[in-house]
Structures are given as C-alpha cells and as structure tokens.
Chain A
Amino acid sequence: MYAMIPLFVILPLAAAFLIPVIGRFVNGFQKVTSTTVFLFLSLLSLYFMFARDQVSYSYMIGGWEPVRGIPIAIYFTLDGLTVFMLAIINLIAFFATFYAISYIKRYTAENNFYALLCLMVGGMNGVVMTGDLFNLFVFLEIAVIASYALVAFGVEKNELEASFKYQVLGGIASMLILFGIGMIYWKTKTLNMADVSYILSNTRQDTYLLFTQVIFIAGFGLKAALIPFHAWLPDAHSSAPSPISAMLSGVLIKAVGIYVIIRLFFNMFSLSPQVSTLIIILGTVSMVLGVFLAVGQWDIKRLLAYHSISQMGYVIIGIGIGMLILSNNGSRSIAALSIAGGLFHLVNHAVFKGLLFLNAGAIEYVTGTRNLKEMGGLSNLMPVTYSTSLGASMAISGIPPFNGFFSKLIIILAAISGGFYLLASLAILVSIITLASFLKFQKFSFFGKLRDPGNNNIREVPFFMCFSMVALALLCLGLSLLIFPGIREAVLNPAVDALMNTTAYSSLILK
C-alpha cells in the first residue's frame, strides 16, 4: 500500500488535465472521470483509515535518502490526522461532483468546471499530505487559484466582484504565508517540517519566533476566515455555484486554513501559552460575532456562509483549549477530550454544511431565487430537500440524535472541566442563537403559504441531486456513532494521538 500514497495527488491532477483534452471529443467523459476518481480516492482513504498495516507512513518523493540524518527529499506523510482529513476531502468532493452532474447543466463550459474542481481537490490533498513548508505553499496556491476561478464561474456582476475581493485578500494571505516560510528558513536553514520542529525544540522561544507565529496566524487565519479576516467569505461562498459552495465551505477553509494551523502549531512550533490564548480569542470572537452577523441575513447562502464562520469558531476553540492545557502541562485527558471535540466538530461541519449548501442549491434550482422572503410552502412539493435540510438544520443547531450535538457537547464538557466557564456558556448561547436562525430558515422556505416567484412549476430535483443529499443526511446521523468506543478508536483517536504526541511527527521522518 506504500506505493499508493502519491496517487492522492497524481490522480486528481491527471484527471484535471485529461478532461480538457479528451472531454472535447468524448461526450460525458468529464463527469465519469471526475466521479470515479473521487470515489476511488474516498475508498482508498477509508482503506488507509481502517486497514492500514502501519500507524503512519512517510514517503520520500524522488527516493532521496537522508544524508547524515538530515532529510533532503520532499516527504509525503500519512498519519492519523492526515488520513482523517483525506477522507473528509474526498468524500465531500465525491458527493458534490455527483450533485453537479444535474446542477451544472445550466452553465456552459462543463469541461472547465470539472477540470478546475479536480485541480482544487488535488491541491487540497497535497496540502494535507506534504511534510515540506514550501511544497505546502505550492499546493495551497494550486487549490486557492482553482477556487478563485470557480467562484467567478458564473461571470455575472456579483460573481466577479466576489472573486476579485477573494483574490485580493487571498493574495495578501499568500504573501504573509510566504514571508513566514522565509522567516522559518532564515532561522533554521531547512524547510522540512520535522527537521524544523527538531531544531526549534532546541532553541528558546523568543520574539523572532513569536513574530513568525503571528505572521502565520494572520496568513492562515485569512484563508480560514477567522473573524477579523472574514470579509471575503460571505461574498465568495454565496456567489459560487452550489456544489462549489459546499466544497469551499465544507472542505477548503478547513484543509488550507484550520488543518495547517493545527499541524504547524502542534507538530512544528513548540506550544506556547501566548499563542494558544491568541488562538482561543480568535475562535471565541469568530464564534460569537459570526452567529450575530448570520441572524439578520435573508439570502440563504449568505446566512449559511456566516454560520460557517461561527462553526469554525467552535473548532478553533476546541483545538485552542487543548493547546493551552498542553502548554501549561495540565491534565492530558482533558486536552485530549477537547482536541477530539474540535476535530469531531470539523468533520461534522464538513458534512452538514456541505448538505445545507446542496439544499440551498436545490431550492435555487427549482424556484430561481435565494431570498427567503420570496419563497414558502415548499415542504409538500420537495419532500427530499425538505427532510434532508431539516436533518442538517437540526445537526448544526445541536439537537440530540444528530452529530452536531455530540461534538458541541464534547467541546462544552472539555471547556467546563478545564475551567473555561465563560467559553462554555458562550458556546451554549451561540448554539441557541444558531437554532433560532435555522428555525427562521425552515419556516420561511418550507412552511407557510406556497409562493412561486419564478412562475415555473415546482417539483422535486433530479435523481443525482437527491442521491447526494440523502447520502449526506444519512452521514449526519451515522457520524454520531463516532463517539461510541470501538468506532472512535479507529477514526478519531489516531488523529488526536497525532496531535497529543507533539514529537511523533518529527520522529516519523527523523528516525
């Protein structure tokens, strides 16, 4: 299985460049190729999750052996956290592509759409697997440049404006990240994350390193849309075509933002209380302000986009509490619980926010509007969309049988047992406001008097769209099983262990 690791990058890239060549001669090639590639990669990542023969792999590109113990190759690493992220990315990508088969018929240039989607997924797979800082930057740029083009895919006024805003802020973020990488290289004369971690563990935490860490937080915080840096997200995520909104909100901000922050600050830098406090503050501000901004929205996709900011706050808080406890040498079991809650909420958010954006796309596909004030009474005419979006709304607001309840519960329990009472009460408050906001969404779109703004007959969406929505809704229910022992050991615990044992990553490469 060792030789299969680079396939996560090779296959999407190959598909991305085969589609424009063969797709213009063979009809339907683009759909078949992209769905099979993503299905194969999801199965491969699930195989690595449940049946791998080692705890973690490291793969040297080019076969360059280390010289005198110093690694010189670019490494692909595959540990618990990486496998966890790969499974999320490829599963959501598969469902979004399957959904797009019916949805994207409205647009011209289908070949370009599927090629860019494959390119974006290839970039994200690279970001989560690579063990080299500069290579991480390259894959990150592949993913985000593809997403810039996908946001502007409709080439109307709003799409272009959103894409321009996204590109300017994304360009500033990229330059900050490259600046941070240069600072790290200046200090340590290496780019390998394991080697950097080994060298930094032998140096004192000084102002230089603190400055570098702040630069990285600003850069990746812009990519992850934490609150002072969030201005691009509602525009970009609401202007993209719906399957792309599901990919951007469900996966992209996690893979290029949250994942990299987690990986760098747990496994590369030494943990420090100042940075952990900063991360917790950013998370709290995003969580609280995001939900207040969301309450007043009447455009479905903008409402969902603001909720993405708020829910990312939960993930950051879970991770940040774990960091703070670990850096103060507190109880390791509470830290593990908190990190597990954060990662669990990350996968849950990918599933239910992906599903909600697909629902919004289905409503827009049928009625032709995204404004909540102009719709109503769809529950009888669109039973599949109605029931799946009800499930997703209950999941995001934390109603018990669904996955969102359990992850929020774990984060709040960890916050209480760690002594962060204010954070715990704020998390509960935000959860209640989220519930109110989604009650509004349900009431105005599915209940009440039937209103038909576009004068077209309203019916259920085609099979491909229904299939993706039903499968994701079942995942919403099924993921609650993750908290039970037995399944938790296979999925969540390896990811948590990779972070709790902060030197495991460097010992993986520097044997």
Chain B
Amino acid sequence: MQGMSIIVKKVSQLITALIFMYGIYIITHGHLTPGGGFAGGAILAGAFILLVLANGSELLKLKQKEEGSSLTESLAILAFLLLATLTLFFGTYVFFNNYLPGGTVGNLISAGIIPIYNIVIGIEVGAALFTIFLALAIYKEEMIK
C-alpha cells in the first residue's frame, strides 16, 4: 500500500485521536450506558485501521504489527481468565465471582469488577479486529507479489 495524499494523512491523524478517546469513553462507561467492551473495542480497532489505510505501510512493518496485536490479544484474554479464576483458588470457589464492592448505582466506579472486565474485553476486541484486518491485508499484498 502506498498511502494517500498529504491532506488525508493529516486529517486522519487528527481524527484518530478523537475516535480513540470516544472508544475509551464507550469502554469505561460500559456498565452505565449502552456500549461496553465489544462496541468500544471495535471503535478502537477502527482508529488503528484508519491510520493504516491512510498512511499505507510496507509488508514487513505490517507483519510486525500483526505479531504485536495478536500478542496483545492473547495477553488480554489471559488477564480476563485470571480475573475470572482469582477467587477459585482462595475463598469462595466460585468462577466469575464479582468480588469487589458494588458501590452506588450511576457512579463511574461502581458495579464491582464489571468495569475491569470491560476494559480487558475492549483491549482484546480492538487487538483481535486489528489482527484480522492486518492478516487479510497481508494476504492481499502477498497475492499481488
């Protein structure tokens, strides 16, 4: 991929920051408003994909990025699993227990462990969608060669 004109590059760089902030907002407010980990993660992945599409990238760099994002994805899932199994080892023997205090309804820090799950899922989904995009892009580049 060659990348697009300087106008597209500049505008996409400016917009990416806004999209990224919006994704983070959707993820962190997932327990209060519609949205949450998956929707926010998809927006995060969209920000990354916009950057790659506008700037273009060499095949080698794309492959490095794919390794990084798939590693992030695996680590996020492992973090999720660790959070879910933490109480299995000591205490109540309940898988997926909500062991943090609930707080009051409507506050940002409430609902116990659910916001933390949302953040981990957001990272995971963002990384996974970006990995899928990069994998398909790499196939295409290989085919052109």
So, do A and B actually touch in the complex, CB under 8 Å?
yes
Judging by beta carbons under 8 Å apart, are A21 and B88 in contact? Answer: no
CA A63 to CA B91, docked complex, whole Å: 13
Partner of B88, one of A6, A13, A17, A18: A6
Q: Is B133 an interface residue (CB 8 A)?
A: no
What string of 1s and 0s marks CB contacts (under 8 Å) between B65-88 and chain A?
Answer: 000001100110110010001001
Judging by beta carbons under 8 Å apart, are B97 and A62 in contact? Answer: yes
Q: Is A3 an interface residue (CB 8 A)?
A: yes
Q: Is A211 an interface residue (CB 8 A)?
A: no
CA A14 to CA B98, docked complex, whole Å: 20
Partner of A17, one of B81, B93, B96, B98: B81
Q: Which residue of A lies closest to B85 (CB)?
A: A10
Judging by beta carbons under 8 Å apart, are B93 and A3 in contact? Answer: yes
Judging by beta carbons under 8 Å apart, are A60 and B78 in contact? Answer: no
Q: List 24 A-B contacts (CB under 8 A).
A: A3-B88, A3-B93, A6-B85, A6-B88, A6-B95, A10-B81, A14-B78, A14-B81, A17-B74, A17-B77, A17-B81, A18-B78, A20-B70, A20-B71, A20-B74, A21-B71, A21-B74, A59-B95, A60-B94, A61-B95, A61-B96, A62-B95, A62-B97, A63-B94
Residues of A within 8 A of B64 (CB): none
CA A63 to CA B93, docked complex, whole Å: 9
CA A60 to CA B98, docked complex, whole Å: 13
Residues of B within 8 A of A20 (CB): 70-71, 74
A6-B95, A20-B74, A62-B94 are known; give 9 further A-B pairs, CB within 8 A.
Answer: A6-B85, A14-B78, A17-B74, A20-B70, A61-B94, A61-B95, A61-B96, A62-B98, A63-B94
- Give the distance to chain A from B132, nearest Cβ to Cβ, in Å: 13
> Interface size of B by Cβ–Cβ distance < 8 Å?
16
Residues of B within 8 A of A62 (CB): 94-98
- Give the distance to chain A from B41, nearest Cβ to Cβ, in Å: 17
Q: Is A2 an interface residue (CB 8 A)?
A: yes
Residues of A within 8 A of B94 (CB): 60-63
Q: Is B104 an interface residue (CB 8 A)?
A: no
Residues of B within 8 A of A21 (CB): 71, 74-75, 78
- Give the distance to chain B from A472, nearest Cβ to Cβ, in Å: 32
Judging by beta carbons under 8 Å apart, are A13 and B81 in contact? Answer: yes
Give the 10 A-B CB pairs with smallest separation, nearest first: A3-B93, A63-B94, A6-B95, A62-B96, A17-B74, A17-B77, A21-B74, A20-B74, A61-B96, A17-B78
What string of 1s and 0s marks CB contacts (under 8 Å) between A1-40 and chain B?
Answer: 0110010001001100110110000000000000000000
Instruction: Label chain A's interface by main secondary structure.
Output: helix
- Give the distance to chain B from A41, nearest Cβ to Cβ, in Å: 16
Residues of B in contact with A (beta carbons under 8 Å apart): 70-71, 74-75, 77-78, 81, 85, 88, 92-98
Residues of A within 8 A of B96 (CB): 61-62
Residues of A in contact with B (beta carbons under 8 Å apart): 2-3, 6, 10, 13-14, 17-18, 20-21, 59-63
Q: Which residue of A lies closest to B77 (CB)?
A: A17
Taking A17-B78, A21-B71 as contacts, is the C-beta distance between A2 and B93 under 8 angstroms? yes
CA A37 to CA B92, docked complex, whole Å: 24
Residues of B within 8 A of A17 (CB): 74, 77-78, 81
- Give the distance to chain A from B84, nearest Cβ to Cβ, in Å: 8
- Give the distance to chain B from A14, nearest Cβ to Cβ, in Å: 6
Taking A3-B88, A17-B81 as contacts, is the C-beta distance between A10 and B95 under 8 angstroms? yes
- Give the distance to chain B from A167, nearest Cβ to Cβ, in Å: 16
CA A62 to CA B71, docked complex, whole Å: 28
Q: Which of B74, B78, B88 has the most CB of A within 10 A?
A: B74
Q: Which residue of B lies closest to A14 (CB)?
A: B81
Judging by beta carbons under 8 Å apart, are B92 and A63 in contact? Answer: yes
Q: Which residue of B lies closest to A59 (CB)?
A: B95
- Give the distance to chain A from B11, nearest Cβ to Cβ, in Å: 36
CA A62 to CA B92, docked complex, whole Å: 10
Residues of A within 8 A of B71 (CB): 20-21
- Give the distance to chain A from B87, nearest Cβ to Cβ, in Å: 9
Q: Which residue of A lies closest to B84 (CB)?
A: A10
Q: Which residue of A lies closest to B80 (CB)?
A: A17
CA A17 to CA B95, docked complex, whole Å: 19
CA A62 to CA B96, docked complex, whole Å: 5
CA A17 to CA B71, docked complex, whole Å: 9
CA A30 to CA B88, docked complex, whole Å: 25
Residues of A within 8 A of B95 (CB): 6, 10, 59, 61-62
Q: Which residue of B lies closest to A18 (CB)?
A: B78
Residues of B within 8 A of A14 (CB): 78, 81
CA A172 to CA B74, docked complex, whole Å: 29
- Give the distance to chain B from A159, nearest Cβ to Cβ, in Å: 16
Q: Which residue of A lies closest to B81 (CB)?
A: A14
- Give the distance to chain B from A292, nearest Cβ to Cβ, in Å: 41
Residues of A within 8 A of B88 (CB): 3, 6, 10
Residues of A within 8 A of B70 (CB): 20
- Give the distance to chain A from B30, nearest Cβ to Cβ, in Å: 17
- Give the distance to chain B from A163, nearest Cβ to Cβ, in Å: 15
Q: Which residue of B lies closest to A13 (CB)?
A: B81
Q: Which residue of B lies closest to A6 (CB)?
A: B95
Residues of A within 8 A of B97 (CB): 62-63
CA A14 to CA B93, docked complex, whole Å: 18
Q: Which residue of A lies closest to B97 (CB)?
A: A63
- Give the distance to chain B from A141, nearest Cβ to Cβ, in Å: 15
Residues of A within 8 A of B92 (CB): 63
CA A61 to CA B70, docked complex, whole Å: 29
Q: Which residue of A lies closest to B99 (CB)?
A: A63
Residues of A within 8 A of B85 (CB): 6, 10
CA A61 to CA B85, docked complex, whole Å: 11
Q: Which residue of B lies closest to A22 (CB)?
A: B74
Q: Which residue of A lies closest to B124 (CB)?
A: A17
Residues of B within 8 A of A59 (CB): 95
CA A3 to CA B96, docked complex, whole Å: 12
Residues of B within 8 A of A2 (CB): 93
CA A17 to CA B94, docked complex, whole Å: 22
